[in-house]
Chains A and B, each alone.
Chain A
Amino acid sequence: MLKTVKDIEDMTKSELIEHLNETVKPDEGSIPAFVIADPKIYDLEHRKVFMKTWIFIGHETEIPNKNDYMLRDLAGYSIIVSRNADMSIRAFYNMCTHRGMKLCRADKGNKSAFVCPYHGFNFKNNGDLIGVPLQKSIYGEELDKSTMGLTEVRIESYKGLLFGTWNEEAEPLDDFLGDFKWYLDILVGRAEMEVIGVPQRFVIHSNWKIGADNFVGDSYHTMVTHGSIAKLGMVPSATYSKMGYQIHSDHGHGLNLGTPNPDFAFPEELIDEYKANLTEEQFEVLSTLKNMIGNIFPHLSFLISHTKVKGQLISNTTVRLWRPIDHDKMEVIAWFLVEKNASEDWKRRSRESFVLTFSPSGIFEQDDTEVFTDITAAAKGPMPVMKQLTYNYTMGMHREPVDFIGPGVAYDDKFSEANQRNFYKYWLELMNS
């Protein structure tokens, strides 16, 4: 007999956190299903996770020129990220300080100032309020514009990846990424990288954690969910996804490193640039890399994928946000990155392979979305709480970590759920914060 559990609807916040501590058991490989699609959990996550940690907001090359700007979401709030006259990048809450109207509504553009559509207050892209219509005649000498600048957002970047946070007490981005930076160097620091085009955006009726879980540690699903890819000869075999290492570090970050690879997955003419940007050990990993799939906590997933398209091998590098919209809905935002010094032919083929495999029409991506949607639907409502439904995350618990050339805790093949356990451990820690 199961002991009776109070309906989550009737729990106070402290009761809910206590219930999480009793039921979320990453060390035992058990995660309750209700954490996936409960509105109260979603609300608590917003406050305890998304308002507290560093959140990805874009790549520096998306706004290369003076006065370029882009509109981004930071934990549910619209922010303007812009490159100032001195080429520094700054970010501000997209809200007029007079009456709260949204200042900017375009995805991106080039502007040195933003005029509010409500009363015409004019803000420079460094946040300063520089103009108020009829100021002298309606405010006299009383209005102190210097106190009415836009609300600045704390931002920091690592190798071109821009992150923001609303939390002034958050540790520096460098510390938050910690050991994981070693792997991010391979992802986005191996050469001068640039974002091509605008990000892809689409909506899935899925909770954001399923996407993060899938990328942080689930190489196992590749055999079945992506079985069609092996059938089409784009990857060597259905079990190729087992070979390599699964690695995680502090703060819930984790990745799966597919290796070996008889072929070099990147443009060979850039080997000198890679060697100049990477340590010898990192270059060794790059040289034999087949794929790299991971997640920066909470919801920035990344991927290097090396497949055969039209008989020719090609790799693509992407990052993607599983941006929460609701407890059962997310917007996927996917950026395509490529070596700036690669040939035009490489860039074109690399983008082609991204669109074919991991865009909304991507033949890998589309099978995942079907799974994400159904898992979310099955986790909803009071029944999973009443019946205490749990997911099994015990894979690889019998195994010991191995020595690896890079930092973090590493296991010597990818079929393990150690990374998901590490993700949920940090998630639970933040939910308690």
Chain B
Amino acid sequence: MTVEKMLANYEFEQWLYKEAQLLDDIDFDAWFNLMHKSLSYQMPVRVNKEGTERPDYAEDMFCFDDDIALLKLRVDRLKTDYAWAEIPPSRTRRFVSNVKLETYVPEHKASVNSYLLLYRSRSTDIHHDIISGERRDEFIYENGAWKLSKRVFIVDQTTINTRNLAIFV
């Protein structure tokens, strides 16, 4: 690995940590500003296959399938007084690891894979939910900053064990 790629890998690690912080701090507007206008934000439904045939997720059904306008709608909705699913907001902690730069064109575009472990706790409920999966991200460099242009989140459960996805992955 070249020093340049090491530095770039570090840069995207820091990007993902900052993103995690903004989401955990429920600063959705600042989070939304990290997105590129060409965004595709997808979470396919994972399926249970007989053997090792891949992909083991649906290519035509999603838990999230948003473009920038729909993601904006979700962020705006959370700011109304009626978004009960997150009143009060969940306490979340996003652990991002195994960050791996896949392709990289300096100041132009990049693709980055990482793992996400998301802890969610609601109200006084003693149960907590864990959502685990892999993020396959693509970035576009615009106005001096990296913006997320594509995310595919491959969740590790076929039946999602949390009451809803009123949170972001």
A interface residue numbers (CB < 8 A to B): 104-109, 196-205, 224-228, 231-232, 309-310, 331, 336, 351-352, 355-356, 359-363, 365-367, 369-371, 373
- Judged by a CB distance under 8 angstroms, whether B50 is at the interface is yes
**Contact across chains for B65 and A370 when beta carbons are under 8 A apart:** no
Which of A104, A201, A367 is the one whose CB lies under 8 Å from B160?
A: A201
Interface size class of B (residues with CB under 8 A): 35 or more
Given A108-B47, A351-B61, 17 more pairs with CB closer than 8 A? A109-B50, A197-B45, A197-B61, A200-B45, A203-B162, A224-B82, A226-B82, A231-B82, A309-B70, A356-B65, A360-B162, A361-B164, A363-B74, A366-B85, A366-B165, A366-B166, A370-B84
Q: B77 to nearest A CB, angstroms?
A: 5
Which of B64, B70, B158, B166 is the one whose CB lies under 8 Å from A107?
A: B158
**A197 / chain B contacts, CB cutoff of 8 Å:** 45, 58, 60-61
Provided the pairs A227-B82, A360-B63 are in contact, do residues A331 and B164 lie with their beta carbons within 8 angstroms? no
Q: A66 to nearest B CB, angstroms?
A: 17
Which of B50, B76, B81 is the one whose CB lies under 8 Å from A105?
A: B50
**B76 / chain A contacts, CB cutoff of 8 Å:** 232
- Judged by a CB distance under 8 angstroms, whether B73 is at the interface is yes
**Contact across chains for B163 and A373 when beta carbons are under 8 A apart:** yes
Q: A113 to nearest B CB, angstroms?
A: 13
**Contact across chains for B58 and A198 when beta carbons are under 8 A apart:** yes
Provided the pairs A200-B61, A351-B65, A360-B63 are in contact, do residues A109 and B49 lie with their beta carbons within 8 angstroms? yes
- Judged by a CB distance under 8 angstroms, whether B2 is at the interface is no
**Contact across chains for A361 and B45 when beta carbons are under 8 A apart:** no
Q: Give the complex CA separation of A361 and B73 in angstroms.
A: 12
Contact with A along B104-123 (1 / 0, CB 8 A): 00000000000000000000
- Judged by a CB distance under 8 angstroms, whether B127 is at the interface is yes
Q: Give the complex CA separation of A268 and B65 in angstroms.
A: 25
Q: Which residues in chain B, 52-82, are within 8 Å of chain A measured between CB atoms?
A: 58, 60-66, 69-70, 73-74, 76-77, 80-82
Which of A104, A106, A225, A336 is the one whose CB lies under 8 Å from B84?
A: A225
- Judged by a CB distance under 8 angstroms, whether B161 is at the interface is yes
Q: B162 to nearest A CB, angstroms?
A: 7
- Judged by a CB distance under 8 angstroms, whether B30 is at the interface is no
Residue of B nearest to A233 (CB): B73
**Contact across chains for A202 and B162 when beta carbons are under 8 A apart:** yes
**B85 / chain A contacts, CB cutoff of 8 Å:** 366-367, 369-370
Q: List 7 A-B contacts (CB under 8 A).
A: A197-B61, A198-B58, A201-B45, A228-B80, A331-B159, A356-B73, A367-B82
Q: Which residues in chain B, 115-169, are within 8 Å of chain A measured between CB atoms?
A: 127, 158-166
**B45 / chain A contacts, CB cutoff of 8 Å:** 197-201
**Contact across chains for A363 and B77 when beta carbons are under 8 A apart:** yes
**B48 / chain A contacts, CB cutoff of 8 Å:** 105-107
- Judged by a CB distance under 8 angstroms, whether B6 is at the interface is no
Provided the pairs A107-B49, A200-B61, A228-B82 are in contact, do residues A310 and B69 lie with their beta carbons within 8 angstroms? yes
**Contact across chains for A232 and B70 when beta carbons are under 8 A apart:** no
Query: What 7 pairs between A and B have smallest CB-CB spacing?
Result: A197-B61, A227-B82, A366-B164, A361-B165, A366-B85, A106-B50, A228-B82
Which of A196, A225, A232, A359 is the one whose CB lies under 8 Å from B60?
A: A196
Q: A195 to nearest B CB, angstroms?
A: 10
Q: Give the complex CA separation of A227 and B165 in angstroms.
A: 18
**Contact across chains for B47 and A361 when beta carbons are under 8 A apart:** no
Residue of A nearest to B76 (CB): A232
**A199 / chain B contacts, CB cutoff of 8 Å:** 45, 61
Q: Give the complex CA separation of A370 and B69 in angstroms.
A: 25
**Contact across chains for B164 and A202 when beta carbons are under 8 A apart:** yes
Q: B24 to nearest A CB, angstroms?
A: 18
Residue of B nearest to A374 (CB): B123
**Contact across chains for A360 and B160 when beta carbons are under 8 A apart:** yes
**Contact across chains for B166 and A361 when beta carbons are under 8 A apart:** yes
Q: B127 to nearest A CB, angstroms?
A: 7
Q: Give the complex CA separation of A35 and B127 in angstroms.
A: 23
Q: Give the complex CA separation of A352 and B40 in angstroms.
A: 12
Q: Give the complex CA separation of A373 and B125 in angstroms.
A: 10
Q: B7 to nearest A CB, angstroms?
A: 35
- Judged by a CB distance under 8 angstroms, whether B43 is at the interface is yes
**Contact across chains for B161 and A361 when beta carbons are under 8 A apart:** no
